[in-house]
Structure formats: structure tokens, C-alpha cells
Chain A
């Protein structure tokens, strides 16, 4: 079935594949960064400086990680835009839209949690701002509209592992960035591709 007659649009079919590509680059470079990076508030910043200035090709790997992370954050929403504009979310592909939205949120969470890891001023205050946004979110935050949770029970507390950013927060962000979220994303991507297979391939002309 062809939903889009325009032959030109077919390059946009690469966007999902590009997202996978940049994800794989992150997955490939991330564990190598872990070889020198220690998620401790005393060590993290110095380790990242070492990575950039001392370790042979450390800066190259770090930049590769950073750039592929950034490009993934661009590719995923644009891939979503192409799916939306072509109506490729229509039956039998509804489930893939839901899986996709989850992948999108997890991609943003990867960028957010990774950003804290260098533990410099930019990282620290960016995460502070993010956590305050959590505190002010409806229902799950202690200060937001319809809040039901107290300050030592809300979403920001559980993410930081306390009421302020510190070692527990760095440990948690590290775990989320390097284990929990990538694992969930790999599983969901498997489902995403299986769904495409089950729908009989992609929606339009390739």
C-alpha cells in the first residue's frame, strides 16, 4: 500500500535507520568511556578531563559519543515527524507508534542522564534545573499542581536519592545511563523492528 505518492520523500525512510546507527555508536563508545570514568563526585570530573586530554584517542571517543548522542536526539523526533506526515502510524502499525513514543522519551532521558556524568558546573546545574522541573510536575512532584507526595517521597527525591544532588544522584544517573535505559531501549527496539516485520514491512516505497 502506498500512502505517499511522492518518490522524493523516500530518503526520509532512512531516519529510523540513522537513529539505530547513532544508538549503536553510543552503545559502542559508551562502555569504552566507562573504562576510565568512575562515577564518584571526587573522581568523575577529573576522569573526564583525563579522558579528553591524556588518554590516547580519549577525546575522539568522547566526542564520538557526544556527537552521536546529540544526532540521535535530532534523528528520532524527525523520524517521528516522517511517520506522522506519511500516516505510517495507521493500522496495523498503531502499536509501533506507542513503542516509538516510549523510545523517544527514553532517548531524551539518555541525553539528560548522560549530561550529568562529567560532574562539572554545567552538568550539576542542568540536572538541578531538571530535578526542580520534576518537583514542580503535576501529581508526581511535591510542589506541582495536584501534588500528593511529600518532599521526601516525590519523583525528584527518588531520582536524586535524596533532597539534593550528590553522590547518590551521580550513582543513580550512572546506573540509568549505562544499564537501565539502554537495556530497555534495546528491548523496545527489538519490538519496534518485530512490529515492522509483522506489519509486512514498511509502509511505503523504499
Chain B
């Protein structure tokens, strides 16, 4: 009887020591994994810039008279084409709907041609050749109080949109 008790005590003792050792072991791993995880998450978060120095999506351009009827003005920094028609203005995105290059306005053929994979768009932005799957988006245009025009790249409008002048 006495022997059994002693044995049981011994078992309890080892278990406690074992538990302590296991606790320490996993505790250390926990701290390590927790720290590594925090480091990983903070690096991913760190890679998202909080501030970017990029031009605003809304910008002011000239007055209607500054652009000749029928002209296409390339605003490369803004990546916008401004087209002046008889009736008014429209602004097209200068980002090819295939993979994002900047199409070139070909005055002689009156089409936009994308140098990357040969996509082509008519003057109204409709795609007719090559890989681009969609027309060039049109952006909302308005008049500022001082009579100059504004383009808002954050707002897309329909293919029939024209800012009448």
C-alpha cells in the first residue's frame, strides 16, 4: 500500500516538472512565433505607404478657346487626352485598356495607337483593333467658376458624354 502511494507521489512530481518544462518550452516558442508574426505583419503594413506624392485626380485645364476645334491634347503627366469637337470637349483616359501603356495619337490616321501590343482606338475612344477589350474610359468634365475647365479622373462617364461649350 505504502509503496503505491510513494509511486504515485513520484509520478505527480515528474508530471509537475515535466509540465513546467513543457510550459517553458512552448512559452519560449510562443514568444518567438508571436514576435516573428508581429514582425511579419508590421513589415507588410509598413510596405503600404500612408502618404503618396501623386497628382490629384481632379485638375484644372485651360479655357475652351485655348483648344482648336478637332484638336487632341495629350496631357502626359495626367495620363489624359483632351479632345475638342465642334460641340464641346471630352476627356479620355490615356491608359490602354489592355495592359496599361499610353496610346499615341496619330494625327494622320486620326486614331490612337498603343505602342505596346498594337491596340487601336478611334478618336471617340472606342477600341477597334488589337488586344484592348474595352473603350478608353471618359472622365467627367465641368466648368470652374473662373471659366476654365476641370477634369475629374475619379468619375467615369458614359461614352456619349460631352461638355458643351
Contacts and interface: CB of A to CB of B under 8 A. Distances in A.
Interface of A: 125, 128-129, 131-133, 135, 153, 157-158, 161-164, 166, 168
A162 B99 contact: no
B99 A133 contact: yes
Contact of B99 (A129, A153, A164, A166): A129
Counting chain B CB atoms within 10 Å of each CB, the highest count among A128, A158, A163 belongs to A128
Interface in B79-107: 79, 99-102
B49 A129 contact: no
Contact of B100 (A132, A153, A157, A168): A132
A162 B49 contact: yes
Q: Which 9 A-B pairs have the closest CB atoms?
A: A132-B100, A129-B99, A162-B52, A132-B99, A128-B100, A125-B101, A158-B47, A161-B49, A162-B54
Interface string B59-74: 0000000000000000
Contacts of A135: 100
B99 A163 contact: no
Contact of A131 (B54, B100, B102): B100
Interface residue SS majority, chain B:
loop
Interface of B: 47-49, 52-54, 79, 99-102, 115-116
15 contacts: A125-B101, A125-B102, A125-B115, A128-B100, A129-B116, A133-B99, A158-B47, A158-B48, A162-B49, A162-B52, A162-B54, A163-B52, A164-B79, A166-B54, A168-B49
B52 A129 contact: no
A102 B79 CA distance: 36
Counting chain A CB atoms within 10 Å of each CB, the highest count among B99, B102, B116 belongs to B99
A35 B47 CA distance: 26
A131 B116 CA distance: 14
A133 B131 CA distance: 14
B95 to A, nearest CB: 8
A153 B116 contact: no
Contacts of B49: 161-162, 168
Nearest to A166: B54
Contacts of A164: 54, 79
Nearest to A132: B100
Nearest to B115: A125
A153 B52 CA distance: 13
A155 to B, nearest CB: 11
A168 B116 contact: no
B116 A125 contact: yes
Counting chain B CB atoms within 10 Å of each CB, the highest count among A135, A153, A164 belongs to A164
A125 B53 CA distance: 20
